[in-house]
């Protein structure tokens, strides 16, 4: 399977329950029976491999576990996040080496939110042939090609908006025939928007002032001193919108 996942063989941790429903998946060319409801990441670990790299949040947010696979009798190459994609019968997972893409280095304070900035920092964007492969590869179902088209027009707001949920897994970039690094272009768009185009919010200003005035120091200290398990419990019990 997976980009950047390094696996190290270690003794199998569990033995298969007799009547448990299973699926067969191929990991490094070898067939393994794994629980039918397992994620790809869970299946690799169930098969006795230890994931040393290529995993982070394990909840579909960090983009560290980009994965490619094939299915039997199907010509397509599929992509997904290993922690959030369930196994399928006959799934063939392929290990890929890490291929960090080139990332433009810039000082956001010296840029302007327009198409010239895109031309200078990511000229490859203009090689886009609108094949839509990036959109099909995106495990977040983002309209990747559309945000690249927005970048070509210098529409920074749309570039920000359509790329907002990108987790930078890089699957779009490894499938792109024009060798664009879509996730980095999206990141630039969000930074430009945040710096130059977004409206100032009073609430944010107030909150920054409160932080500067040490209003939350006690609470930060309490969190920093917390044990990992306690912190986890509190995180999942938090109020969120």
Binding site for ligand FES (CB under 6 A): 55-58, 60-65, 81-83
Whole-number minimum distance, CB 167 to ligand FES, in Å? 6
Q: Where are the beta strands (DSSP E) in 146-217?
A: none
User: Cα–Cα distance between 125 and 74 in angstroms, integer?
Assistant: 31
- Kindly calculate the radius of gyration of the chain based on its CA atoms and give it in whole angstroms: 21
Whole-number minimum distance, CB 151 to ligand FES, in Å? 24
DSSP at 156: H
Whole-number minimum distance, CB 233 to ligand FES, in Å? 20
- Closer by beta carbon to ligand FES, 81 or else 118: 81
- Closer by beta carbon to ligand FES, 57 or else 111: 57
Q: CB within 8 A of 96, min separation 6: which ones?
A: 2, 3, 4, 68, 174
C-beta separation of 174 from 180 below 8 A: no
C-beta separation of 140 from 166 below 8 A: yes
Surface-to-core class of residue 192, CB atoms within 10 Å of its CB (0-12 exposed, 13-18 middle, 19+ buried): buried
**Which token pair is 229?**
């398990």
Q: CB within 8 A of 52, min separation 6: which ones?
A: 6, 7, 8
- Closer by beta carbon to ligand FES, 57 or else 77: 57
**Crossing angle for the helix pair 144-153 and 156-163, to the nearest 10 degrees:** 160
- Closer by beta carbon to ligand FES, 63 or else 189: 63
Whole-number minimum distance, CB 138 to ligand FES, in Å? 13
Whole-number minimum distance, CB 47 to ligand FES, in Å? 18
- Closer by beta carbon to ligand FES, 137 or else 158: 137
- Closer by beta carbon to ligand FES, 58 or else 190: 58
- Closer by beta carbon to ligand FES, 158 or else 169: 169
Whole-number minimum distance, CB 5 to ligand FES, in Å? 10
C-beta separation of 26 from 87 below 8 A: no
DSSP at 195: I
C-beta separation of 159 from 184 below 8 A: no
Whole-number minimum distance, CB 60 to ligand FES, in Å? 5
């Amino acid at each position: 399977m997976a980009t950047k996942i390094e696996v190290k063989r270690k003794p199998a941790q569990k033995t298969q329950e007799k009547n448990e429903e299973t699926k067969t998946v191929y990991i490094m060319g070898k067939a393994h029976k794994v629980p039918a409801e397992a994620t790809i990441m869970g299946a690799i670990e169930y098969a006795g491999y230890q994931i040393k790299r290529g995993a982070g949040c394990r909840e579909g947010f960090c983009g560290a576990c980009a994965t490619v696979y094939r299915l039997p009798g199907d010509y397509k190459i599929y992509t997904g996040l290993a922690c959030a994609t369930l196994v399928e019968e006959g799934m063939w997972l392929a290990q890929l080496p890490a291929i960090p893409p080139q990332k433009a280095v810039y000082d956001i304070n010296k840029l302007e939110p327009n198409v010239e900035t895109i031309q200078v920092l990511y000229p490859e964007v203009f090689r886009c042939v609108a094949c839509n492969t990036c959109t099909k590869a995106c495990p977040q179902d983002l309209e990747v090609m559309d945000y690249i088209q927005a970048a070509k027009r210098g529409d920074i707001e749309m570039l920000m908006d359509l790329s907002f949920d990108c987790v930078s897994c890089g699957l779009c970039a490894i499938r792109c025939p024009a060798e664009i690094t879509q996730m980095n272009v999206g990141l630039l768009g969000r930074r430009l928007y945040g710096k130059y185009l977004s409206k100032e919010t009073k609430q944010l200003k107030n909150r920054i002032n409160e932080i500067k005035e040490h209003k939350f120091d006690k609470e930060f200290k309490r969190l920093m001193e917390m044990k990992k398990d306690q912190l986890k419990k509190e995180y999942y019990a938090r109020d969120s919108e």
